[in-house]
Structure 1
Amino acid sequence: MDVVKYLQRAGYTTVQKSFYAKIAEWESWYIGNVRKFHRYRIYNGKSYVSCRRLGMGMAKKLSEDIADLLLNEKVQITIQDSSTHEFVTQVLNDNNFWVMGNDYQERKAYTGTVAYIPYLDAVRVSENGEIVDGGTVRINYVSAEDIYPLSWSNGYISECAFVFYKTVETKLYAQIQIHKLQNDQYVIENHVVECTNGAGREVPSEKWKDLKDFSGLSEWVETGASERQFVVDRLNIVNNYSKDNPMGIAIFANSIDILQGLDTIYDSYINEFVLGKKRIFVAPELLYTDPLGNPAFDPNDVTFYQLPEDTLKDGGKPITEIDMNLRADAHEKGINDNLNFLSVKCGFGQNHYRFDNGSVQTATQIISENSDMFRALKKHEIVLQSVLEELIRIIARLGQKMNIPTDPDSKMVIDFDDSIIEDKQAERSTDRTDMSMGILRHEEYRAKWYGETLEEARKNLPEQNQVIE
């Protein structure tokens, strides 16, 4: 379905269609099957031969690594208001956020953008679109190919359309969900379009009840809030493909040439062993069988190759050995040089990856020595922290609609796990020294190392260390 054209017909302006082709290209590198590169044809002097270029899958590896660094199981979220903390934690766990969150950090790395859309499931909505009561907070996860910004300013997307594809009774449908501002409040508008065979036919809302997956869908929902009910997450990299485009770009978007070089060298490296396989050419006269029926050469041994008849009459040798020299060392150097280029270009610094013994190894030393990677990760965390904070506040607001005493404005602390980047023990020891010297206060130390707010840290200090205001 051409979503861009659909939105334009509905009077909305969105990102250029060509940018979604770019997202598809990045995804093909992530999958490791790029059209006209991994599948290609070569002319052998007589005809074209179809070939498949082997690849190292480094786009996938890059995406995995940045996702594991940004959002893992050691990230701690602490909300000062205990009721809000308990409710938000339960919602995140119920929606498998720590698994799906890491999954979508990886998707963010190869598509550039993802979105999280909390909503109330099993709610009753009045005829004018107001929520009467709600049941459960759910989270929809969306990646870049299904995100269509409608209005934005300074990179902040204020209105957006999201697409969810579902198959009902062998027919493919697209649910187009539009979040827009109306009278300074957000409303959510839903459309269902049949996509089978590119139909593009909109299904009237009165017929949704006949479609299993859309039977409880509301055509119009008023959120009653001036804040958006979706969060857009992207890598903190400038989009140099499209001016004023609020969407992000893949972590390897500006390293496609290096990925091509890596796969070209790796394919040649493997072919070096295939083409350099030892072979022995034998004249047919030597492939005899003795009187007992035993062959002179094992017929199942592929090392031997029978030469044409009369080879010996034409002055040929009875046995010719072909043992080509392998250029493995030269190939390994070429792969390692390109891995280093890729690592630097994608923010991991030098020597993060190394090709050794036929596989890619990742550096295991404390990455604080690598200032490039430290700065790049902290740069991405700036965006991710604001994303997590907004997601938590949306969940807290939805909790209020369920009559749960939550506080969307409660202070919170998000502690990203930097133990693989910084020497935590050395830093903690330094902080203890500063605390004993009076440079660092006890509650500041506790807030930093126990993931608490300053107010919580003051309350949790041992009695002899209580701070008197």
Structure 2
Amino acid sequence: MDIFSYFQRKGIDTVDKSFYRMIALWESWYKGRVRNFTFYKIYSGQGTSIRRQRKSLGMAKKLSEDIADLLLNERVQITLSDESTGDFVENVLKENRFYVLGNDYQERKAYSGTVAYIPYIKDAEVTEDGSFQSGKIGIDYVSASNIFPISWSNGRVTECAFTFPKTVARKKYVQVQFHRMEQTVNGSQYVIENTVLECQSGSREGTELAEEEWKKLSPFRFLAKRIETGSPEPQFVIDRLNIVNNADMDESNPMGVAIYANAIDVLKSLDIKYDSYSNEFELGRKRIFVAPEMMKNVNGSIAFDPEDVTFYMMPDEYDKSQEGLIKEVNMDLRSEQHSGAINDDLNYLSLKCGFGTERYKFDCSGVKTATEVISENSDMYRMIKKHEVILEDVLKELVQIIIRLGIVLGNPLNSESEVTIDFDDSIIEDKEAERQSDRQDVSMGAMGLWEYRAKYYGETEEQAKATVQQPEDTVIE
């Protein structure tokens, strides 16, 4: 189904269709199955071509994993100044497996450029006056290929469409969800509209189902056609890498690009060399050519193990006078040249993706990742900090939406709670050495105990001061 045909019929403008072909290309590198590259043909010289599968180092996957682990891992702390509000948010995130799926979607963000998080109210019971009696907060996670910005300003998406493919009884359906801003008498509010398309063969844009029709399908049984949020703030969060999008001629495109979007040529070069390296061992294995009369013993039994591929029987017209009855052939392997070339490309790739050089090293056991602590003036440090700028805003906005929905459900939450995001920089900074130094500063009075708690215990300044019962200007002796 071509979702763009549906958008066009509805008069909806979004990012150009060609950009989503770029997303598909980046995803194919992540999966290791690239069109017109992974499978190739070699001419045999006999009028036919042999189809081969190129071996791959899978560095697109490795890069995506690494940046995801550096940005959002189990050590990242989300702290709110109001404790009860913080506990509520923490429970919602845990119930929606955010600390697992969050890292998963950081990896998806790395290979596609963009992901989205959409909190919503599920299992709700509504009273006659329209207020919520009960319900839970869920989070939908959406990949780039299912995100279609409708309006945006200064790179911030304000209205958006999301698609959710489903399969019911072998039939394919697509839920299309629109988040739009509407003007009301009292101001403006976001409205969420849902529709369901049935994907039929021969139909480019699918068949739009009526609400009573999709209510009969289990995935859409509780799907509302229209939801008025009553809030001028969006109920979705767009998360992208902090890299300028140069994959689209439209400079205003708000979508992100893959971390390796500008390193495709290096990925190709790497896999070509690794495939050649592997073929070097496959084609250069030891062979022993044996004359026909040497293949059997005097009693007629087979002299060599028939399963041993080292031995190769020569034809009857084999010239024994020139080559002898048994001839051993050992091919020279160019392993050092291949390893050097692969390591050069790994450095190019690492540099182009923001990790600096010497991040990856290829040897006989495969690709290894450097684990040493890096300095604050390194390329990798600056790259991570740059991406954290957007991610911090994304996490804070996600928390605010959860709080807002919690208040709608009747929970006594503080919408003014200060949100603090503490990223794990242990791979960047020597945390233990820094912590030991700060302990000495506290003992000398150069640092307040409340400052130490705020820095290492994930507390806000107010919480830390309340814990130690120490005013801001007090110095510990």
Residue 371 of structure 1 and its aligned partner are, at CA, apart by 1.1
Aligned to 1:80: 81
* Residues 131, 222 of structure 1: 8 Å contact kept: no
2:93 is aligned with what amino acid?
Answer: L
Q: 2:404 matched to which residue of 1? A: 397
The correspondence of residues 291-330 of structure 1 with structure 2, limited to 5 A, is 291=299, 293-312=300-319, 317-330=324-337
| 1:320 CA drift (Å) | 2.3
Aligned pair count? Answer: 465
- TM-score normalized by the length of structure 2: 0.93
Structure 2 unaligned runs (5+)? none
**What is the aligned partner in structure 1 of residue 33 from structure 2?**
33
3-state SS of paired residue (1:34): coil
Question: Any conservation in 2 of the 1:446–1:452 contact (CA below 8 Å)?
Answer: yes
The aligned counterpart of 2:6 is: 6
Aligned to 1:215: 221
Residue type of the alignment partner of 1:65: D
Is 1:455 matched with 2:462? yes
Q: Please tell me whether residue 238 in structure 1 is matched to residue 244 in structure 2.
A: yes
Deviations 1:399-432 (A, max 9, x none): 0011001122211211111111101122223334
Give the CA RMSD over aligned residues: 2.0
Counterpart of 2:341 in structure 1 is 334
* Aligned twin of 2:291: 283
Q: What secondary structure is seen at the aligned counterpart in 2 of 1:191? A: strand
Q: Provide the rounded CA distance (Å) in 2 between the counterparts of 1:468 and 1:41.
A: 74
Aligned to 1:406: 413
Give the aligned partner of residue 199 of structure 2: 195
Report the AA paired with residue 57 of structure 1: G
CA distance, structure 2, for counterparts of residue 125 and residue 6 of structure 1: 33
1:186 to 163, 187, 190: 190
Change (3 A) 1:238 1:294: same
Residue 364 of structure 1: how far off its partner (Å): 1.4
Which of 235, 256, 262 is residue 270 of structure 2 equivalent to?
A: 262
Correspondence for 1:368: 375
Opposite residue 156 of structure 2, the aligned amino acid is Y
Is the Cα contact below 8 Å between 2:181 and 2:191 reproduced in 1? yes
Residue 136 of structure 2: aligned partner: 136
Q: Rate the CA distance shift 1:92–1:313 in 2: closer, same or farther, 3 A.
A: closer
Deviation at 1:434, TM superposition (A): 4.3
Corresponding residue number in structure 1 for 2:153: 153
Query: Alignment partner of 2:307: what SS?
Result: coil
Distance 2:141 2:195 in 1: 18
Q: 1:250 aligns with which of 243, 258, 270?
A: 258
Once the two structures are TM-superposed, the CA of residue 42 in structure 1 deviates from its matched residue by: 2.0
Q: 1:225 aligns with which of 223, 228, 231?
A: 231
Quick one: distance in 2 between partners of 1:119 and 1:16?
Answer: 28
C-alpha displacement at 1:115, in angstroms?
0.4
The change in CA–CA distance for 1:131 and 1:215 in structure 2 (over 3 A counts) is farther
1:51 maps to a residue whose letter is R
SS in 2 for 1:87: helix
Fraction of identical pairs, as percent? 56
Query: 1:314: how far off?
Result: 8.0
Q: Secondary structure at the match of 2:201?
A: helix
CA distance in 2, matches of 1:413, 1:54: 45
Matches within 5 A, 1:58-137: 58-124=59-125, 132-137=132-137
Aligned residues of 1:368 and 1:423 also touching (Cα < 8 A): no
Contact 1:181–1:187 at 8 Å: present in 2 too?
A: yes
List runs of 5+ in structure 1 lacking aligned partners.
none
Q: CA deviation at 1:378?
A: 0.6
Q: Which stretch shifts more, 138-147 or 212-221?
A: 212-221
> 1:111-165: CA deviations, max 9, x gaps?
100000000002256999x664440000000010000000001110000000001
Tell me the distance in 1 between the aligned counterparts of 2:88 and 2:420. 16
- Asked if 2 retains the 8 angstrom alpha-carbon contact of 1:311 and 1:317, the reply is no
Shift of 1:440: 3.6
In the alignment, residue 219 of structure 1 is paired with which amino acid? K
Aligned to 1:385: 392
- After the TM superposition, which of the residue ranges 317-326 and 167-176 deviates more from structure 2? 317-326
For residue 5 of structure 1, what is the amino acid of its counterpart? Answer: S
Secondary structure of 2:215's counterpart equals helix
Paired with 1:265 and 1:204, the residues of 2 have a C-alpha distance of 55
Letter in structure 2 aligned against 1:451: G
Deviations 1:78-104 (A, max 9, x none): 101122111101100100110000000
More deviation, 174-183/196-205: 196-205
TM-score of the superposed pair, with normalisation by structure 1? 0.95
Give the letter for the 2:244 counterpart. Answer: V
> Structure 1 pair 150/133, CA: closer, same or farther in 2 (3 Å)?
farther
Separation in 1, partners of 2:58, 2:381: 24
2:445 maps to 1:427? no
Distance apart, 1:439 and its partner CA: 4.7
Q: Is the 8 A contact 2:122 2:136 kept in 1?
A: yes
CA apart distance, 1:31: 0.5
CA distance in 2, matches of 1:442, 1:4: 58
Summarize the Cα distance change of 1:370–1:43 in structure 2 as closer, same or farther, 3 Å threshold.
farther
Per-residue CA deviations over 1:287-318 (Å, capped at 9, x if unaligned) read: 23312x43333333211111111223785532
CA distance in 1, matches of 2:234, 2:361: 44
Classify 1:369/1:333 alpha carbon distance in 2 versus 1 (closer, same or farther; 3 Å): farther
Greater mean deviation of Cα atoms: 382-391 or 38-47: 38-47
| 1:273 lines up with 2:281 in the alignment | yes
Q: Is this contact kept in 2: 1:131–1:223, CA < 8 A?
A: no
Q: What SS does the corresponding residue of 1:451 show, helix, strand or coil?
A: coil
